[in-house]
């Protein structure tokens, strides 16, 4: 199989490789040639996002009410959260998202990993969500992204709003029960698949 027809590596991390793979003659490929290659490579990846449970001393968690062009999510409550950036640790991402979205400064050492959830169907792509809790931060929470959020509010952990996105609600529920891992939206393996694994 020549370099021009070989399948791309499952995880392409170097765009120069993509260009060489699509254009062995050394000419720059067109965008139309590159996008399908990147799309195929990205299909082998999952998004990683982080969620921050800011917990006050009275059993309350801070939620933000989303402002979203997608009516399925507009007005629903959510935790401060966001996607992991390239080259960023999950702790750095949680610290960054808390600062960007609600204006508080958190020390990475004050974040406690409380839950991991592997989700399918909560957005365009499957994702791995990491939930971190903290009781310590500097600053007063404020809506720092009014274009993405209507308002912030504190809710008792045992009395969350009905209009909360399922994905963060599952993470909060897992925090309350002490569960450290869950999956959501995936089809359980069939008995044939389970037998093949055994």
Residue-wise pLDDT tens digits, 153-197: 999 999 999 999 999 999 999 999 999 999 999 887 766 666 666
Is pLDDT at 104 greater than 50 in this prediction? yes
Question: Which two tokens mark 86?
Answer: 């390239």
Residue 58, Cβ neighbours under 10 Å: how many?
Answer: 8
Mean pLDDT of the chain: 82
* Rounded CA separation 104/158 (Å): 24
Longest dimension (CA), the chain: 65
Confidence of residue 13 (pLDDT cuts 50, 70, 90): very low
> In the chain, what are the domains?
1-45 (no CATH), 47-184 (3.90.79.10)
Is pLDDT at 121 greater than 60 in this prediction? yes
Q: Is the torsion defined by CA of 62, 65, 66, 71 positive or negative?
A: positive
φ/ψ region of 75 (left if φ > 0, alpha if ψ in -120 to 50, else beta) reads left
Residues with Cβ within 8 Å of residue 139, at least 6 apart in sequence = 103, 104, 105
- Sheet strand arrangement including 81-83: 81-83, 47-54, 127-134, 112-119, 181-184
Question: Which two tokens mark 161?
Answer: 């709003």
Distance of CA 119 to the CA centre of its chain: 9
Considering the chain, what percentage of its residues have pLDDT values greater than 90?
A: 64
Using alpha carbons, select from 117, 122, 85, 112 the residue that is nearest to residue 100.
Answer: 85
Question: pLDDT tens digit string along 33-85?
Answer: 544 544 454 455 779 999 999 999 999 999 999 999 999 899 999 999 999 99
Query: Residue 24: its pLDDT value, please?
Result: 46
φ/ψ region of 3 (left if φ > 0, alpha if ψ in -120 to 50, else beta) reads alpha
Strands 149-156, 60-66: pairing is: antiparallel
Is pLDDT at 111 greater than 70 in this prediction? yes
């Amino acid at each position: 199989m020549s370099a021009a027809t070989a399948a791309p590596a499952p995880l392409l991390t170097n765009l120069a490789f993509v260009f060489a793979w699509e254009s062995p003659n050394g000419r720059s490929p067109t965008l139309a040639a590159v996008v399908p290659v990147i799309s195929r490579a990205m299909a082998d990846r999952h998004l990683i996002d982080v969620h921050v449970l800011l917990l006050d001393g009275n059993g309350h968690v801070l939620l933000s009410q989303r402002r979203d062009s997608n009516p399925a999510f507009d007005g629903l409550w959510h935790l401060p959260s966001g996607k992991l950036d390239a080259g960023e640790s999950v702790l750095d991402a949680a610290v960054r998202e808390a600062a960007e979205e609600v204006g508080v400064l958190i020390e990475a050492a004050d974040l406690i990993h409380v839950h991991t959830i592997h989700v399918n169907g909560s957005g365009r792509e499957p994702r791995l969500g990491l939930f971190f809790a903290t009781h310590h931060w500097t600053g007063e929470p404020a809506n720092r992204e009014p274009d993405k959020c209507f308002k912030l509010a504190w809710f008792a952990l045992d009395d969350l709003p009905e209009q909360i996105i399922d994905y963060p609600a599952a993470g909060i529920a897992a925090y309350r029960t002490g569960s450290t891992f869950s999956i959501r939206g995936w089809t359980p393996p069939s008995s044939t698949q389970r037998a093949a694994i055994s």
